Amino acid sequence: MSILIIAAHPDDEVLGMGGTIKKLSKKNKVHLCVVTEGASAQYTSKNMIEKRKESCIKSGKILGISTFDFLEFTDMKLDSTPSLRINQEIEKIIKKYKPSTVYTTPKNDLHKDHQIVFESTLIASRPHSTTVKNLFSYEIPGIVKNPFMPTVYEDISKEISFKIKAFKCYKSEIEKFPHPRSIKSIEALSCQRGMESGLKKAESFELIKSIRN
């Protein structure tokens, strides 16, 4: 089965669902599409764009991701980019891999890039024109405008170590506790979602649509 993960920035994928990606990659082809370069708005060095791409590929190999597509839209400027351009590029990726299941960024996030990628994924995966039968959004730790409301939990008790190892590839993004992007906070969130679902460690998702034949 072909599965597509859509991220707004390099590291969204591992923060949101690194453990689940590791599980899925054991029996499926997992493809990653990163919409922005994720660096130009935060760093002055132009080398950081390439470094974050390299970190993404290194991290993804740990998780078992098969292919990587980098659309390289400007970081934190998706709200000033014509939505048609973003939609069309994501549509091209969906047509390229023909996934039955797609995971994308959450809609509850304060980050505009995450919101826009969510909306564009909805459009690009609309019925009648794609192979997408199941669409989920994953949870990205951080400041949000509304609480994330999970409807699906994935047991990552055996995969949490791979998630942490993969995130450590993004050396520039690791923060100190209690920052949401600290190692300790990532582990704590997996425990929280685990407690909610009766599991030791879990990642949570919102089911956006599921089409049954």
Mean of the per-residue pLDDT values for the chain?
95
Q: In this structure, are residues 213 and 100 in contact, taking their beta carbons and an 8 Å threshold? A: no
99 or 40, higher pLDDT: 99
Q: What digits encode the pLDDT tens for the residues 149-201?
A: 999 999 999 999 999 999 999 998 999 999 999 999 999 999 999 999 999 99
Residue 127 clears pLDDT 70, i.e. is over it: yes
What's the mean pLDDT in 71-91?
Answer: 95
Tell me what pLDDT residue 42 has. Answer: 77
Tell me what pLDDT residue 213 has. Answer: 81
Please give the span between the terminal C-alpha atoms of the chain, in angstroms, as a whole number: 16
How many Å apart are CA 117 and CA 121, to the nearest integer? Answer: 6
**Is the alpha carbon torsion for 74, 77, 80, 83 positive or negative?**
positive
Of all residues in the chain, the percent with pLDDT exceeding 90 is 86
Tell me what pLDDT residue 44 has. Answer: 65
Tell me what pLDDT residue 143 has. Answer: 85
Of all residues in the chain, the percent with pLDDT exceeding 70 is 99
CA-wise closest residue to 170 among 9, 7, 6: 9
List the CATH code of the domain at 2-210. Answer: 3.40.50.10320
Pairing of strands 29-36, 101-104: unpaired
- Kindly report whether the global pTM for this prediction surpasses the value 0.85: yes
Three-state SS string over 122-147 comes to HHHCCCCCCCCCEEEEECCCCCECCC
Q: In this structure, are residues 37 and 53 in contact, taking their beta carbons and an 8 Å threshold? A: yes
How many Å apart are CA 206 and CA 136, to the nearest integer? Answer: 6
Three-state SS string over 64-111 comes to CCCEEEEEEECCCCHHHCCHHHHHHHHHHHHHHHCCCEEEECCCCECC
Q: In this structure, are residues 50 and 172 in contact, taking their beta carbons and an 8 Å threshold? A: no
Q: What digits encode the pLDDT tens for the residues 18-57?
A: 999 999 999 999 999 999 998 877 776 678 889 999 999 9
